[in-house]
Structure 1
Amino acid sequence: MQDRRHFLKAAALSAAALSLDGVSKAAPYVKPTKAKPMVLSTWDFGRAANLAAWEILKNGGRALDAVEAGVKVPEADPNNHTVGYSGFPDRDGRVTLDACIMDELGNCGSVAALEHITHAISVARLVMEKTPHVMLVGDGALQFALSQGFKKENLLTPESEKAWREWLKKSEYKPVMNIENSSYGAEKETTFNPLKLPGNVYNHDTIGMVAMDAEGNLSGACTTSGMAFKLHGRVGDSPIIGAGLYVDNEIGAATSTGVGEEVIRIVGSHLVVELMRQGYSPENACKEAVTRIVKKNPARAKGLQVGFLAVNKKGQHGAYCLQKGFNYAVLSNDSNNVLIDGKSYFPG
């Protein structure tokens, strides 16, 4: 017993000595610095969405509130036929919306095949906050939205209905690459465009948005009316957590755009975040995800577009796509809502 007391006393004295000479001294407390808020979103119409999100972020607001507010802008834009109100319908003439949202705590909510409600993203958030579920679909999603005070409305505008009726004459289904981008899509229009609209109007895709707030917390949102003239009931990657959107507050966040079936096959946004966990930069993580799509079916990949957008906890961001033409908008104190072209796997 005496030997044990002697041993413990000697050990304590040794530890004290080590502390005195600095070998085992605890690191001094350093007050954490505030992060630099920023918001990123897909395609050129993301710039207007970024402005709405920035109004929240610049005043110290939460990233979750910012991404919801941001994507509500294109959801309500009657000139945008890819998201929300006035979205091109499915081949039965019904406008169906898909959306998801995810916060820094891993909480998430989603709706799919939702009709008659413009702001699908807000319904998705309430699924996250007020139900034990992650996803509600179809009539169930609509029933829930109405129970939460949303008003039923007609999302099919005269312009979208005219486009659908013209499409019915031939009923051809061949999505066009990059028609989300007006500067690129108008030049590349190669298929049915009944209204002779510029590329940023006649489109069929998604707004994905990720943001970091002043506390360094990440959130993301993704919302779409899906591909124009799709089969009724078709759901792409946009409302699927891990495919169209994924947020891990320790690592980063990612979102996707393009042909959702290909993104689902590789669980794309989750893959991008996990690659960043392994040390990949945001751009290289997006590139690897795109490369996996190509490896699965090179011939199919040549005829479609998919793009990924990512940001890590350091505020570094990047994107990569299958075909030239995808771009994204960045707004922060250091970046004035600039539009950045993503690098592509195929040269063009």
Structure 2
Amino acid sequence: MSHRRKFLQTSVTGAMALLLQRKALASVTLDKVPVINDPVVISTWDFGKAANAEAWKLLSTGGDVIDAVEAGVKVPEADPTNHSVGYGGFPDRDGKVTLDACIMEGTALNCGSVAFLENIVHPISVAKLVMQKTPHVMLVGEGALQFALANGFQKENLLTPESEKAWKEWLKTSQYAPVINIENQFKPVDPKQLPGGPNNHDTIGMLAIDKTGKMGGACTTSGAAWKMRGRVGDSPIIGAGLYVDGEVGAATSSGLGEEVIRTCGSHTVVELMRQGLSPEKACKNAVERIVNRNPERAKTLQVGFLALNKKGEYGAYAIHKGFTYSVKNGKEEKIYEAKAILT
């Protein structure tokens, strides 16, 4: 009889513990999707301000966060004066403009990407269709172009006269020399400028959260100017140029893509936020990993990270000063300069 009592007591205790555990898990699950009430959209660089404004049109009226980030980054993709994103981007060494882009939503970790895509103005929209219509994450080169054309996109010449002129000037010396933070020194191409010209190694990365707490991000670029044929940087790589996890937050990167790929940069930032770091501190930690691995080399390159957590808090950090980011929410529309490890 005493054994029976002990068995019943143990069963009741175990059942109560299981019930409490289930309630605790239910509570955690509910907390994963907070009600933000005020959407937030942030993006890299000064030209992100116009992109944010376009994304905000959808976010502020209850539009889908993925549609919003797509609409936002399409602005610089179609801007012929922006030589680091889309139409008008500086070409590779062979004079061909090749584009990379990815998009990701944080609820189910759905994502899509295209790389080494030619003759399509909006690679971000192709990446979105890869996410929505295929079982794959990434399509590249001729396959990505074939998919785009099959879905109604039209081939267009992406090499503008201005970009072609800059490329021909570069060919006279064939020296590849990216300049740190040249993105913020934009001016029309001048033949007297050094080879490597304006906006020669960058991208736009955009992160957003809507009123319900759903998160999304997009990243798109024409890559490094005068790059080797076939080179792909971090921008289309999920976990490098962009990562979004709705339980934690999102991050994107800017600068030399090879360094970001080596450290799985954006995923690293998100995981650091998961451990409790603020967006700014998470970005700083990720940047420090790059600097500490080779301090001397870090003096000659730029990498910056931008992050947004599920609470709507944001921050950034870079190797060198000069990396800027744009913010748009219901309270402010502003451009900030990120803190930096080095001067």
Q: How high is the TM-score relative to the length of structure 1?
A: 0.87
Offset of 1:204 from its aligned partner?
A: 2.9
> What per-residue deviation string (whole Å, max 9, x for no partner) do you get for residues 91-134 of structure 1?
10000000000012200110000000000000001111111111
Offset of 1:62 from its aligned partner?
A: 1.6
CA contact (8 A) 2:326 2:334 kept: yes
Q: Give the alignment partner of residue 276 of structure 1, picking from 273, 277, 289.
A: 273
In structure 2, relative to structure 1, the CA distance for the partners of 1:145 and 1:279 (3 Å cut) is same
State the secondary structure of the residue aligned to 1:181: helix
Work out whether 1:149 is the aligned partner of 2:157: no
Q: Give the alignment partner of residue 340 of structure 2, picking from 323, 333, 344.
A: 344
State the secondary structure of the residue aligned to 2:320: coil
Quote the residue 2:122 is aligned against.
119
State the secondary structure of the residue aligned to 1:126: helix
For residues 171 and 62 of structure 1, the distance between their equivalents in structure 2, rounded to whole angstroms, comes to: 45
Quote the residue 1:42 is aligned against.
44
The farther-off stretch of 201-210 and 318-327 is 201-210
CA RMSD of aligned residues (A): 2.8
In structure 2, relative to structure 1, the CA distance for the partners of 1:259 and 1:63 (3 Å cut) is same
Quote the residue 1:248 is aligned against.
245
Quote the residue 1:19 is aligned against.
none
State the secondary structure of the residue aligned to 1:166: helix
Quote the residue 2:59 is aligned against.
57
Quote the residue 1:286 is aligned against.
283
Offset of 1:181 from its aligned partner?
A: 1.4
Structure 2 matches for 1:164-183, cutoff 5 A? Answer: 164-182=167-185
Quote the residue 2:208 is aligned against.
211
Q: Alignment length, in residue pairs?
A: 328
Instruction: State the AA in 2 paired with 1:120.
Output: P
State the secondary structure of the residue aligned to 1:303: coil
CA contact (8 A) 1:193 1:202 kept: no
Instruction: State the AA in 1 paired with 2:260.
Output: V
Work out whether 1:135 is the aligned partner of 2:135: no
> What per-residue deviation string (whole Å, max 9, x for no partner) do you get for residues 252-289 of structure 1?
00000000000001000000000000011100000010
For residues 4 and 74 of structure 1, the distance between their equivalents in structure 2, rounded to whole angstroms, comes to: 74
Instruction: State the AA in 2 paired with 1:45.
Output: F
Quote the residue 2:74 is aligned against.
72
Instruction: State the AA in 1 paired with 2:105.
Output: D
Q: Give the alignment partner of residue 84 of structure 2, picking from 82, 85, 100.
A: 82
> What per-residue deviation string (whole Å, max 9, x for no partner) do you get for residues 22-64 of structure 1?
xxxx99x999873120100000000000000000000011211
CA contact (8 A) 2:200 2:223 kept: no
State the secondary structure of the residue aligned to 1:52: helix
State the secondary structure of the residue aligned to 1:117: coil
Q: % of aligned pairs identical?
A: 66
CA contact (8 A) 2:34 2:213 kept: no
> What per-residue deviation string (whole Å, max 9, x for no partner) do you get for residues 214-268 of structure 1?
1101100000000111111000000000000000100000000000000001000
For residues 108 and 202 of structure 1, the distance between their equivalents in structure 2, rounded to whole angstroms, comes to: 27
State the secondary structure of the residue aligned to 1:83: coil
State the secondary structure of the residue aligned to 2:182: coil
For residues 195 and 87 of structure 1, the distance between their equivalents in structure 2, rounded to whole angstroms, comes to: 19
Instruction: State the AA in 2 paired with 1:338.
Output: K
Instruction: State the AA in 2 paired with 1:77.
Output: D
State the secondary structure of the residue aligned to 2:149: helix
Q: Max radius of gyration: which structure? A: 1
| Residue ranges of structure 2 left out of the alignment (5+ in a row) | 16-22
Offset of 1:80 from its aligned partner?
A: 0.5
Offset of 1:201 from its aligned partner?
A: 5.3
Instruction: State the AA in 2 paired with 1:145.
Output: A
For residues 193 and 120 of structure 1, the distance between their equivalents in structure 2, rounded to whole angstroms, comes to: 28
Offset of 1:300 from its aligned partner?
A: 1.1
Work out whether 1:331 is the aligned partner of 2:328: yes
In structure 2, relative to structure 1, the CA distance for the partners of 1:6 and 1:136 (3 Å cut) is closer
In structure 2, relative to structure 1, the CA distance for the partners of 1:230 and 1:2 (3 Å cut) is closer
Quote the residue 2:293 is aligned against.
296
| Residue ranges of structure 1 left out of the alignment (5+ in a row) | 16-25, 187-191
CA contact (8 A) 1:37 1:211 kept: yes
